[in-house]
Structure 1
Amino acid sequence: MDLMGGMQKVMRRMLVARGVESSTVQVAGQGLHHYSLKGEGKGPPVVLVHGLGGSANGFGRTFFGLAKRFSRVVAPDLPGHGFSLEYCGGEVCVRNQFDVLRAYVEQVVGEPAVVVGNSLGGAMSVNLAAEYPQWVRALALVAPAGAELPEEEMKSLLASFTVRSPAEARAFTRRLFHRPPLPALLFAYELRRFYDTPTVRALTAEALATRASLEPDKVRNLAMPVLFLWGGSERLLPSQTLKWYRDHLPPHAQVHVVDGFGHVPQLERPDELVSHLVRFADTAGL
């Protein structure tokens, strides 16, 4: 029995029952599952981009809070994640993931949006904002990856996604949260199903081989409003990540280290994350 897969389907049914649309769209030759919720607010659309091994379900508890402030909330499952089919798209796996995200924003969202990216989704969101700024009204980075790291730090980070035993699974789970919920620890070994996939293995192998990182100028030259959130309990990404972003973000960026946030506040503190995003939109005049 695929326990985690079953729980993901239950989560999807619960979201759909509350009015969230769950569908598959064709972009860049890829069938991409996504959620869409019509909002009550007048702000621009919000695009929620998950990280490596994550899924759109991870943002599910933020949908309704964001919908009160913004006109639409959308969250795609990147290729090989969530309910989207496995896909790597050739030798340059990371780039092809990005190309699908770009096509999704252009074809499905179709207007400038507030793009919120977590972890690897944060790095891809920076690339989107730097290379296609016409589609990014504002950028919110939540514990983003993409910083240039020493080789040993990069190896250690990528190795942490390889879970071979229940003890390793629990250790990895603890690195994701400020205070891991008991169910997450009890079922930690099942989480390996999210990370032991062809797409995730290809992405980590490519990142290790190329030491992929963002070009500093891409971060430095971001012209739209930028919010950077870092957890006071961040344990997955090394502390050099925070320093790197602080060194390269433009002066107008809002940088906050938030007590009680781990690597995935959308799972652990969804209401607080929504509050930060709404305040950011208010101060940016969106």
Structure 2
Amino acid sequence: MDLMGGMQKALRHMLVARGVESTTVQVGAQTVHHYALTGQGKGPPVVLVHGLGGSANGFGRTLFGMAKRFSRVYAPDLPGHGFSVEYCGGEVCVRNQFDVLRAYVEEVVKAPAFVVGNSLGGAMAVNLAAEYPEWVRALALVAPAGAQLPEAENTALLNSFVVKSPAEARAFTRRLFHRPPLPALLFAYELRHFYDTPTVRALTAEALATRACLEPEQVRNLAMPLLFLWGGSERLLPSETLKWYRAHLPAHAQVRVVDGFGHVPQLERPDELVSHLVRFADSAEL
């Protein structure tokens, strides 16, 4: 077993020991691993959607805080990520990943949810809210991808996921955090196993070939309560992403640029992220 795989399994065991359900579910013909935790709150169910190369484990330290405020918290591993098997329904592409997410909400969550998406998961959450608004009670975008970027910026972003040396691994890791923890830097080259997978390679190749991105009207027409969180120390996504979203978000969206947040605050500042999400939920009377 590789080091990162062992650490991921150890984290799963810890979450299960604390009462989190870790199971696989059939979503259509696809087997998907997910975490589910029954909450003590009265808010709607929450669905936490990770980004490219990420996993549900990345939200492990937010599950319990969210469960205090909401009725149930879900965190699926998208196909080819975390403990979910590779996509088995044909070509690996962003649209098929999205179709699995949509089916997961419809068949597993079975209720309009507060959907929280990070990075690619943020772009997919926008798609879900735009195409199937009946399943999205409210939306939180945490450093979301999906903006229309200049070709050079888009190519540089996607090429950054190709890590071929320890130095490149450390450089990529530094781009994810406000202050990268020492263990993440020490084991940065091992972290490449999260990004050097058939699924991630296929998705980045598709994005390079097609420059797939959101359309402005998909964002502009979102009618549900909406929170947009951007890290003051965001280094992975180019600043043009924030500008694009600011230009197209609906007027009712709450936009917060948070000092001390990098690209993955669920890993680095989980309690602060939960605080922002709960404060937003309170303001939206969820």
Does TM-score exceed 0.5, indicating one fold?
yes
Q: Secondary structure at the match of 1:19?
A: coil
Deviations 1:131-183 (A, max 9, x none): 00000000000000000001111110000000000000000000000000000
**1:76 CA drift (Å):** 0.1
Q: Tell me the alpha carbon deviations over residues 206-244 of structure 1, each in whole angstroms, 9 at most, x when there is no partner.
A: 011000100110000000000000000000000000000
4+ residue runs over 2 A deviation: 88-92
Residue of structure 2 in register with 1:195 after alignment: 195
CA contact (8 A) 1:88 1:97 kept: no
Q: Is the 8 A contact 2:119 2:143 kept in 1?
A: yes
Matched, 1:142 2:142: yes
**2:215 is aligned with what amino acid?**
E
How far residue 88 of structure 1 moved from its aligned partner, in angstroms, is: 6.2
Name 2:106's counterpart in structure 1: 106
Structure 2: runs of 5+ lacking an equivalent: none
Task: Give 2:61's aligned residue.
Answer: 61
Counterpart AA for 1:232:
G
Query: What is the CA–CA distance in structure 2 between the aligned matches of 1:89 and 1:237, rounded to whole Å?
Result: 30
CA deviation map 1:232-273 (0-9, x unaligned): 000000000000000000000000000000000000000000
SS in 2 for 1:116: strand
Q: Return the offset for 1:28.
A: 2.5
CA distance in 2 between partners of 1:272 and 1:5 (Å): 27
Cα separation, 2, equivalents of 1:235 and 1:137: 30
Does the 8 Å CA contact 2:29/2:89 hold for their aligned counterparts?
no
AA aligned opposite 1:212: A
1:92 offset after TM fit, Å? 6.0
SS across alignment from 2:86: coil
Task: Give yes or no for contact 2:36–2:72 (8 Å, CA) kept in 1.
Answer: yes
Q: TM-score, normalised by structure 1?
A: 0.99
In 2, Cα distance between equivalents of 1:91 and 1:240: 30
Name the counterpart of 1:255: 255
Query: In structure 1, the residue corresponding to 2:62 is in which secondary structure?
Result: helix
Query: What is the deviation of 1:89?
Result: 3.7
- Cα contact 1:140–1:227 (8 A) shared by 2: yes
Distance 1:54 1:215 in 2: 24
What letter is aligned with 2:43? Answer: G
In structure 2, distance between residues paired with 1:139 and 1:274: 14
> Is the CA contact (8 Å cut-off) linking 1:28 and 1:99 kept in structure 2?
no
Matches within 5 A, 1:78-227: 78-87=78-87, 89-91=89-91, 93-227=93-227
Matches within 5 A, 1:266-281: 266-281=266-281
- Percent identical pairs in the alignment equals 86
Distance 2:223 2:283 in 1: 15
RMSD between superposed Cα atoms in Å: 0.7
Question: For residue 8 of structure 1, what is the aligned residue in structure 2?
Answer: 8
- 1:234 corresponds in structure 2 to 234
Determine if the alignment matches structure 1 residue 46 to structure 2 residue 36.
no
Tell me, in whole angstroms, the C-alpha distance in 2 between the residues paired with 1:199 and 1:176.
Answer: 20
1:90: Cα distance to partner?
A: 3.0
Runs of at least 5 residues in structure 1 that lack an aligned partner in the other structure: none
SS of 1:61's equivalent in the other structure is: coil
Q: TM-score, normalised by structure 2?
A: 0.99
Structure 2 distance, partners of 1:166, 1:87, is 29
